[in-house]
Structure 1
Amino acid sequence: MKSRAIFVLAGVGLVIGLVVAWLFSQERKPQPPAFAPIANPYGNAIHANGIIESEQGGGVNIPVYPELPGRVIRVLVHEGQHVSSGAVLIMLDDTVQRASTEQARLQAEAAQAQLAQLKAQPRPEALAVARAQVVAADANRKTAQDQFEKRRAMAELDARTISKDALDTAENAWRQAQASLEVAQRQYELIRAGSWSYDLLSQQRQVEALTQSYDAATALLQKYTIRASGDGIVLALNVAPGSYVSAQGVYDGYTQAMAPPVLMGSVQEYLAVRCYVDEMLVSRLPPVERIDARMALRGSDIMMPLQFVRIQPYVSPKIALSNQRQERVDLRVLPILFRFRADGRIKVYPGQLVDVFIGQKK
């Protein structure tokens, strides 16, 4: 019984093996490619890796950093938005600086009011008081003088009618009243003369110093508002309300590096292509006036002509196209910049990697 089961199982296994062998022996047609592979458009061309950038005077995008650290309270733009020069991008918390600026403004206004007060001297009311004090002092002098002259006349008629002490006291009172009159007259002249020129100059300098402090505080306050330095498009936005930014940027948890809060590009009528040519191939580059190039978009059969812009004549260590400096490799490359018109018919964006074929015009 067991032998029959073994023979049955062996027969089933043989049949399964023959079926599997037949299935695997069948010839299968290869799947057609998703797109036609890019062919070298030149007979002898240099291949280079390239990255699409917004076209700038320096050939790079514009990272926007704040000059002061702070917490983001408002983000007024979004990625892909076209902005004009001076448009507000990000607002930082400026509570402390705003209070300091207001304090500086009030101090400058107080100093200006003090200067105006000095220039308005003499005050009519103060001058009237000083004049009344002169009149009162003159009346006191006249009274004291009359008293002294009466006592002196009595002493001349009969020395026994008044004592020498009383006569001296009356004379001293007269001279004191006369001195008080002179002081009141000097005080009147001082008030009437107005502010001293040195006091005016000192207060003027104080006003200028406090005004400059207020201007400096106002300029510092404006730095808490990050604005666009020119017309362009927002390529990347790496902050949100509540984020903390510094002059080094904002920490990116994905790359574990500091990134700019905003990455700006120019208005994209043209886009630039930066490619890196291996130093071993630099000698094979055609003359500048005869350089011709084409760009192939990865994952498609699209190939576009490029317009030569310039060569950056400095061979440097290659940095991977992710722009992460920690990804340096032992390879030196020569940067070459091209550009093409971004007409919108082909979907390309800054930061996209492309293949560049550099050939020679016929």
Structure 2
Amino acid sequence: MKTFMFCVILLIPKVGSTIDDLNDMKYIEETESFFRERCEPQCIYTANLYNNRSAIPGLFTSEMVDIFPRQCTKVCCETIIKAESNVSEEQLARTFQNVKHLVGSLHVSFTEYESLKFLESLETLECGDREFLWEDNKMNDMGLTNLTTVICADFRIFNNFRMNKLNLPNLINIVPRDANGSRIKVSILSSMLTTDVTIQEAMTFLSNPDVDFEISQVDFINTKTDTCNVGNGIPEGCKHVFGDLKIGQDNEHLVSRLKSVEVLFGGLLISRTSLTTIDFFDNLKYILLHTSSMEEAIRVEYNVNLTNFLFPSLKRIYPTSTVYSKFIAHHVVFSNNNKIISTDPIYCDQFEHVLNVSNVKESFDKKSCG
């Protein structure tokens, strides 16, 4: 007798949600809670968090324009504008014309818009633990001319291949999302067209101790009368100096001119002088090595009489880029000067204390500090 085996297949409907669904639900819950703490109920816009046909929570589409709370000057809304949004600049301009304070992420990416004028009324942006992202757009500049304050985890401008200037003239406050030691990462990166950044815009990022500043393909533009190029000599009466500052036997008698310098957009080389002390950088606060031909931000070498140095105001050293800096052996090098500097450990400790910066590596006659 043959035995037949029957296999019964039970089709059980799937119960629950996928991981992506659960993540989206958590994202929506956290977003709504964040909004309730910051906006009036009638000014909270969450329609684009649900039933989104593109499966991108927060995507702003033309279907949602009519129910946006246009009467509010402060709006809580996830604003993600992409090619899939299918919304015109004119529609966006009407939608955001009264918005001065925007709470929530702001992403503008892969669009064909000519400008961000539809956000020209915007004064403050608060992202919380999320980000501002402006990526792969075809605009010439950002054009957020009234934006004064950004409170986000990240502020990223990335690969906008027609962007030739930043155009954030009134941005003065870059604030971390909380006061518990958090930082804000600012990235202005491009592999194509060079972006012009004014001194005023640069100082907003450089002077903020809570900002990690990462740049590539950026030109800093002289917009102030107290800005000088190094050229062939030591500048006088300048706060902002462009170029590698090189001090040697032929110009060491002019170092007193440097007491007014606050920012050096280049490297500092002091070589083969008769100087006994470096005490002429009273006001130097920031060194940005971005356009320098030097690997180190500071190199002091072959000054046999040099027995002391002082950088009393120096706060930050920015290498060529955050990525490149990982491959630099030392950002500050003292080499072949008077032996007292390399043999007494107090100088190494003193230099670290004077710099008062993190992630900066120093070397005294090939001996690393720290």
TM-score, structure 1 normalization: 0.17
In proportion to residue count, which structure has more helix? Answer: 1
TM-score, structure 2 normalization: 0.16
Q: Point out the structure with max Rg over C-alpha.
A: 1
